[in-house]
Amino acid sequence: MSAIRARSVARLAAVQALYQMEVSGVGAEAVVREFTEHRFDRAMEQEGEPLAQADEAYFADIVRGVVADQAAIDRAIVKRLATGWRLERLDATLRAILRGGAWELMRRPDAPKEVVIDEYLEIAKSFFDATETGFVNGALDGIARDERP
């Protein structure tokens, strides 16, 4: 099978990094450095399929961007939650997926919204069932409509 594109790998790694930052409290620069120095030099796989080399600059942009813009990103996500739900109630992996996707939709107009939504939806499918993946799809689609009219 063909290798997954470099930006796809960057997105997956960014979700992993954002999750790691949230659960461990490690800062963005330390995580970016860890991935650059220790993870990207090894062959990465997803579901047994070799991944392409990551676009390391794009990975770093996502991680740093989410941290820099987290308040605005979280507000955009909260608008998509059911009444009475708080962002903290979502699974940490789900928050990482939504934050990465929302940041790209809000701050990277060069990334086609359909591609961004589809790729984060594919990442969600690796971790969650149809309920959560449907929520990711709906939330990111709503954010895209808000941010890219």
What tens digit of pLDDT does each residue of 105-140 get? 999 999 999 999 999 999 999 999 999 999 999 999
CATH of the domain at 85: 1.10.940.10
CB contact at 8 A, 56 and 12: no
User: Which distant-in-sequence residues (6+ apart) come within 8 Å of 55 by Cβ?
Assistant: 6, 7, 9, 10
Indicate whether 115 belongs to any domain: yes
Indicate whether 52 belongs to any domain: yes
- Tally the domains of the chain: 1
Indicate whether 1 belongs to any domain: no
What tens digit of pLDDT does each residue of 31-63 get? 999 888 877 755 555 555 555 688 899 999 999
- Report the share of the chain in percent with pLDDT over 70: 89
Instruction: At 26, give phi and psi (nearest 5°).
Output: -75, 145
